[in-house]
Chains A and B, each alone.
Chain A
Amino acid sequence: MLKISDLCVSYGRREELILKHINAEFDKKTLLLGPNGAGKTTLFRTICGLTVKISGKIYIDNIDLDSVFGKPGVIAANIPEIFGLLYLDCYRLLDLYMDLFDSDKDLALSIMEEFGLSEGFLKKKKPHQLSAGQRKIFHNAIALAAKARIKLFDEPFEQLDPARKNKLIECLEKEKAIIILSTHETWLIRKLLSWDVTFMFEGQLFGKLSVKELSDSYLVFEKYPGALLTVETPKVVFSIIKEPKGKPLADFMSLDYVYKLA
């Protein structure tokens, strides 16, 4: 289980908080839904140790992550910045990370192959020479193949074509680890029915619902009595409700539209 307790993050000398007193527990596969700029990637980077927190704690199975060093099998992620250890071609980079994660290189290669990146192709290209979609597949595949209790996927569907999106959904469904998948795309709530959902707006987390509850829900821009969830931030107020009123949540496609329509 991943537990986050009163986590605050700000960048450098800025006083404004990017993540504001986040408290959460993730014990099953969870969609982290939020518009661009909500702080989803910053949250992942903080969990991975790239971004410095100003207060709060992060625990995995009750172990404080601040005290974790040299422990493969705890966290894997598809965040590009964690793959910058050496400037190698994709094949060798994959070989290096699978060795460091104590994981199976052949499994990673077979996942890559399934998504259309052959071993020969990986040997010829460095990560920056891949297209945006290929780069996403490369990082997704390493995170999928790595042995870890918690896996963080930051916008894993971005730049992928529909066939590969479906294939990735199959892979994520088969995965045994606790996955936290950040995205602004609401169409996923029609696909990942067994998952939980948490919303993220302006550096704050809201609620924990099941995707099943959300799949036929509606969004109204007001505080609605008896709503499944109400999100209230300085910039936007909305409620997610069961009654057929407002706009179906899944029709938003991207949560970025919430601000446009508010």
Chain B
Amino acid sequence: MVFTKYFRYSLRQYFLNPYFIFWGIIFIYFWILMCAYVFAKGVPGDYMLYVVGSDYGQLLILGLGSASVSAAFTFYYSSFAVRFVTKFTKLNPRRFLIENFLSTILYLCVYSGIIWGLFVATFYSKFGEWYLPKDPLGLIGATILSAIFLYLFSLMLVYFVILLRAPKLSNFIGYVPLMLSFLAYAAFWVDFGIAVYISPFNLISNLTYYFYTKEKPFTGDIIGNFMKLIQNETPSYADPVLSVVALCIWILICGILSYIFVRKSRGISYEELRIL
């Protein structure tokens, strides 16, 4: 299938969004520098890969949360033009869905790659060693799963706002992925226990850590559990297989809800949401 120009311009719009460049790249890079030059100070060399793995996992969810804000606003902005375009241009509904999905997934995956590259390069410049993932293919797979989840999650939120006929909520709802990312970031200090499986953002960081280090991720309280590990005590681990299954279930739930919401939104006229 030959892509229309929608695919290329959609990618362009994502990457050149000033909001994304500041919050997704510059802001996250600041924290990468903090991780390498401040937080990793005094960590024994043998443990550095675990630090890189957990820091990358945590910053990745913040970064993906920021990137998803752009995706959510794009979905909202285009929600009415899509009705015309899918009827009266060559971008039929199937083609639109494929191009929109692929451009958003590619954007989120390339973004993850950029963050990873910055991480590895920054730690190399500080410690003179390349801290590369032990299971790169697994890491790529986890990144793709994360991107699919965030795509469907953002889509579901946007169409939920449309169904509510509450355009004023669109600004708030666009930031929900970022807010949940910050909640999951609390895993540095808070042990989520079994609740880690119902928080998709924790699942993303756990899987990233697992494939980066090939060590079981913690259920939370990363700092505390890390200390336990150093002191030869047993930390509280999350099961990686169960984490993959839980994330897939989340993807399924968001996919089904998105489908239902998109279908139901057809009954809502442009005029009902034109406050924007």
Q: Which of A70-78, A174-182, A193-201 contacts B (4 or more CB under 8 A)?
A: A70-78
Q: A81-B81, A95-B5, A100-B6 are in contact. Are A48 and B269 (CB under 8 A)?
A: no
Q: Which of A82-90, A131-139, A204-212 contacts B (4 or more CB under 8 A)?
A: A82-90
User: A97 contacts which chain B residues (CB < 8 A)?
Assistant: 89
Q: A50-B80, A69-B93, A87-B13 are in contact. Are A81 and B270 (CB under 8 A)?
A: yes
User: A107 contacts which chain B residues (CB < 8 A)?
Assistant: none
Instruction: Kindly state the separation between the CA atoms of A122 and B238 in the bound complex, as whole angstroms.
Output: 54
Q: List 28 A-B contacts (CB under 8 A).
A: A12-B268, A12-B271, A12-B272, A45-B271, A48-B83, A50-B80, A50-B83, A50-B269, A50-B270, A69-B93, A70-B95, A72-B89, A81-B81, A83-B81, A84-B78, A84-B80, A85-B82, A86-B6, A86-B9, A87-B13, A88-B12, A95-B5, A96-B5, A99-B4, A100-B5, A100-B89, A102-B89, A102-B90
Instruction: Say if the beta carbon of B47 comes within 8 Å of chain A.
Output: no
Instruction: Say if the beta carbon of A17 comes within 8 Å of chain B.
Output: no
Other A-B pairs beyond A86-B74, A99-B5, 11, CB < 8 Å:
A48-B88, A50-B269, A51-B271, A69-B92, A72-B89, A82-B84, A84-B78, A84-B80, A99-B4, A101-B90, A102-B89
User: B87 contacts which chain A residues (CB < 8 A)?
Assistant: 48-49, 65, 68-71, 74
Across the interface, do A81 and B80 meet the contact criterion of CB distance under 8 Å?
yes
Instruction: Kindly state the separation between the CA atoms of A48 and B272 in the bound complex, as whole angstroms.
Output: 16
Instruction: Kindly state the separation between the CA atoms of A22 and B195 in the bound complex, as whole angstroms.
Output: 57
Residues of A within 8 A of B (CB): 9, 11-12, 42, 45, 48-52, 65, 68-72, 74-77, 81-88, 92, 95-97, 99-102, 148
Across the interface, do A51 and B10 meet the contact criterion of CB distance under 8 Å?
no
Instruction: Say if the beta carbon of B126 comes within 8 Å of chain A.
Output: no
Within 8 A of A (CB), among B1-46: 4-6, 9-10, 12-13
Across the interface, do B271 and A11 meet the contact criterion of CB distance under 8 Å?
yes
Across the interface, do B88 and A72 meet the contact criterion of CB distance under 8 Å?
yes
Residue interface bits B60-86, CB-to-A below 8 A is 1, else 0: 000000000000001001101111111
What are the 4 tightest A-B residue pairs by CB atom distance, in nearest-first order? Answer: A70-B92, A100-B89, A82-B84, A84-B81
Interface of B is mostly: helix
B161 shortest CB reach to chain A, Å:
15
Instruction: Say if the beta carbon of B128 comes within 8 Å of chain A.
Output: no
Within 8 A of A (CB), among B249-276: 266-272
A45 shortest CB reach to chain B, Å:
6
User: B90 contacts which chain A residues (CB < 8 A)?
Assistant: 70, 72, 100-102
Instruction: Say if the beta carbon of B91 comes within 8 Å of chain A.
Output: yes
Interface of A is mostly: loop
Within 8 A of A (CB), among B79-125: 80-95
Instruction: Kindly state the separation between the CA atoms of A50 and B10 in the bound complex, as whole angstroms.
Output: 21
Residue of A nearest to B274 (CB): A81
Instruction: Kindly state the separation between the CA atoms of A95 and B84 in the bound complex, as whole angstroms.
Output: 17
Across the interface, do B268 and A52 meet the contact criterion of CB distance under 8 Å?
yes
B47 shortest CB reach to chain A, Å:
45
Instruction: Kindly state the separation between the CA atoms of A69 and B97 in the bound complex, as whole angstroms.
Output: 13
Instruction: Kindly state the separation between the CA atoms of A82 and B268 in the bound complex, as whole angstroms.
Output: 16
Instruction: Say if the beta carbon of B134 comes within 8 Å of chain A.
Output: no
Residue of B nearest to A9 (CB): B269
Across the interface, do B271 and A49 meet the contact criterion of CB distance under 8 Å?
no
B220 shortest CB reach to chain A, Å:
38
A125 shortest CB reach to chain B, Å:
15
Residue of A nearest to B268 (CB): A52
User: A87 contacts which chain B residues (CB < 8 A)?
Assistant: 13, 74, 77
Across the interface, do B13 and A86 meet the contact criterion of CB distance under 8 Å?
yes
User: B95 contacts which chain A residues (CB < 8 A)?
Assistant: 70
Q: A86-B78, A101-B89 are in contact. Are A50 and B84 (CB under 8 A)?
A: yes
Instruction: Kindly state the separation between the CA atoms of A49 and B270 in the bound complex, as whole angstroms.
Output: 9
B26 shortest CB reach to chain A, Å:
21
User: A48 contacts which chain B residues (CB < 8 A)?
Assistant: 83-84, 87-88
User: A88 contacts which chain B residues (CB < 8 A)?
Assistant: 9, 12-13
Instruction: Kindly state the separation between the CA atoms of A42 and B90 in the bound complex, as whole angstroms.
Output: 24
Residue of B nearest to A45 (CB): B270
Across the interface, do B81 and A85 meet the contact criterion of CB distance under 8 Å?
yes
Instruction: Say if the beta carbon of B216 comes within 8 Å of chain A.
Output: no
Instruction: Say if the beta carbon of B165 comes within 8 Å of chain A.
Output: yes
A105 shortest CB reach to chain B, Å:
10
Across the interface, do B88 and A75 meet the contact criterion of CB distance under 8 Å?
yes
User: A70 contacts which chain B residues (CB < 8 A)?
Assistant: 86-87, 89-95
Residue of B nearest to A101 (CB): B89
Across the interface, do B267 and A85 meet the contact criterion of CB distance under 8 Å?
no
Instruction: Kindly state the separation between the CA atoms of A101 and B269 in the bound complex, as whole angstroms.
Output: 24
Across the interface, do B266 and A84 meet the contact criterion of CB distance under 8 Å?
no
